[in-house]
Structure 1
């Protein structure tokens, strides 16, 4: 072995083990919350809107992300029920988290009489940035990687040794697909910030995020070796990504031509389903 893997345990507090995976996920959430809160304040949303939303969205997203993963790996978890709660070992699905978060945000926005699309637009850059950061949790756990490659292949990518060494798993080197997706998401984050300055119509920034992320996820998922499978040949994430691209594009076009939508920077917060 050419290097030593990173210890997934960041530190210990007595009997409590603090995992690097959880710390990285927490960092992504914290930074995303900060950015969303600043933008929400600029656009005139009530103070603490995102703090109130995240009280519900974070636990529901984590639960739905885990349930999504467990559902499609049920044969294993049915035989090992004690492993269901062991999220520190990995095994949460971002699509499950997104489903839980969106449902939570829809209910929250209706209760608060705030436009769901306005909340979604504000959150979109934070979500994709959190995803970019969160992929490094997969790196710590040596998961979400692609097929076998050689060390020279990784060196030709100009990767630092700590990444190359962490991609050495059970005697072989693997594609760092976590890194490919993290970079794709960083580019998407930058693109969304630029689109925000264009002042799109309400809802279009979030739908652009869905399209961008899904395009990248479709291609990168095809490289992975740990995909959740719908059939022997169909990867769930790829099927869902294609579906989301079509749905988001159709909704974007329909809303733009069907409704007289406010612009992104409009400070009205009415919670109509179209706004």
Structure 2
């Protein structure tokens, strides 16, 4: 059976609701629900986190779009109004991550809250949201790899609806969205496992594990994609991934000095 997916979920008069938007909103709602419950238990406070997320949503979306537009400017040249059509896709997760972390640091300092504790509370649901968001790329038929064959995808035991969804203009493509989604789900499980054992005693640990885990996965998977954003001959996401991995490693080493005093 072949399941045909369309970018539009439903159209009511002049209003069209896109699957991509629905998936992103669903991921945000799930993240808000679980992170706010955790904030109640770890001392941050539910209201503080809800207020933070209220600002983070537009900041993250804006950062994701600006990042994408900057490194993909030629697509928008001559059609600047399309820059605002974010429901059609074109959001770069690294742009969202960078802008969100900068804002979180600012907001926590303003509210006199622990920056590391706040980030550790959020990152498990960030990576879960990334896992979900990649399915929006699947529906939009973007963020895929090179041309391949049906037989190759079948040998990888990929579900048939995904294989057929990766058939674009008569050719089958490598479903890199799926690889990253699975990688993020594994990362989510790792972060929850570490959090359960550590219970926020070593603040910053979850953040830096996220940097290392996601950085490694994105570094590898980005090399398979055909729609990467470039800076000269270098893939931007691979550069950022390497930086994240290094920050994660250095961060854990640096934080160990503080963690030594924790029993």
TM-score, scaled relative to structure 1: 0.91
**TM superposition shift of 1:231:** 1.5
Task: Could you tell me which runs of 5 or more consecutive residues in structure 1 were left unpaired when the two chains were aligned.
Answer: 264-275
SS of the counterpart of 1:18?
Answer: strand
Matching residue of 1:210: 211
**TM superposition shift of 1:15:** 1.3
Are residues 61 and 106 of structure 1, via their aligned partners in 2, closer, same or farther at CA, if it must alter by over 3 Å?
A: same
**TM superposition shift of 1:19:** 0.1
8 A Cα contact 1:227 1:235, kept in partner: yes
Matching residue of 1:21: 20
Matching residue of 1:254: 254
More helix by share: 2
Matching residue of 1:72: 71
Mapping for residues 232-251 of structure 1, pairs under 5 Å? 232=233, 234-251=234-251
Once residues 182 and 79 of structure 2 are traced to their aligned partners in structure 1, the CA distance between those partners, rounded to angstroms, is: 35
8 A Cα contact 1:28 1:133, kept in partner: yes
Task: Could you tell me which runs of 5 or more consecutive residues in structure 2 were left unpaired when the two chains were aligned.
Answer: none
**TM superposition shift of 1:136:** 0.4
8 A Cα contact 1:147 1:225, kept in partner: yes
**TM superposition shift of 1:183:** 0.2
Matching residue of 1:114: 113
Once residues 35 and 163 of structure 2 are traced to their aligned partners in structure 1, the CA distance between those partners, rounded to angstroms, is: 34
Q: Does 1:172 align with 2:143?
A: no
8 A Cα contact 1:22 1:88, kept in partner: yes
Q: Does 1:33 align with 2:32?
A: yes
8 A Cα contact 1:201 1:261, kept in partner: no
SS of the counterpart of 1:79?
Answer: coil
8 A Cα contact 2:202 2:259, kept in partner: no
Matching residue of 1:100: 99
TM-score, scaled relative to structure 2: 0.95
Once residues 262 and 174 of structure 1 are traced to their aligned partners in structure 2, the CA distance between those partners, rounded to angstroms, is: 50
8 A Cα contact 1:146 1:224, kept in partner: yes
CA RMSD in angstroms comes to: 1.7
Are residues 166 and 42 of structure 1, via their aligned partners in 2, closer, same or farther at CA, if it must alter by over 3 Å?
A: same
**TM superposition shift of 1:47:** 2.8
Are residues 240 and 7 of structure 1, via their aligned partners in 2, closer, same or farther at CA, if it must alter by over 3 Å?
A: same
Q: Over residues 92-134 of structure 1, what are the superposed CA-to-partner deviations in whole Å (9 max), with x where a residue is unaligned? A: 1000000111111111111211101000001111100000001
**TM superposition shift of 1:75:** 2.3
Once residues 49 and 255 of structure 1 are traced to their aligned partners in structure 2, the CA distance between those partners, rounded to angstroms, is: 25
Once residues 82 and 67 of structure 1 are traced to their aligned partners in structure 2, the CA distance between those partners, rounded to angstroms, is: 14
**TM superposition shift of 1:215:** 0.3
**TM superposition shift of 1:196:** 0.9
Higher RCO (Cα < 8 Å, 6 or more apart): 1
Q: Over residues 200-253 of structure 1, what are the superposed CA-to-partner deviations in whole Å (9 max), with x where a residue is unaligned? A: 511111111111000000000000000001123x10000110111012211221
**TM superposition shift of 1:175:** 0.5
8 A Cα contact 1:202 1:262, kept in partner: no
SS of the counterpart of 1:159?
Answer: coil
Once residues 198 and 3 of structure 1 are traced to their aligned partners in structure 2, the CA distance between those partners, rounded to angstroms, is: 43
Q: Over residues 42-73 of structure 1, what are the superposed CA-to-partner deviations in whole Å (9 max), with x where a residue is unaligned? A: 11222322210111100011011000000011
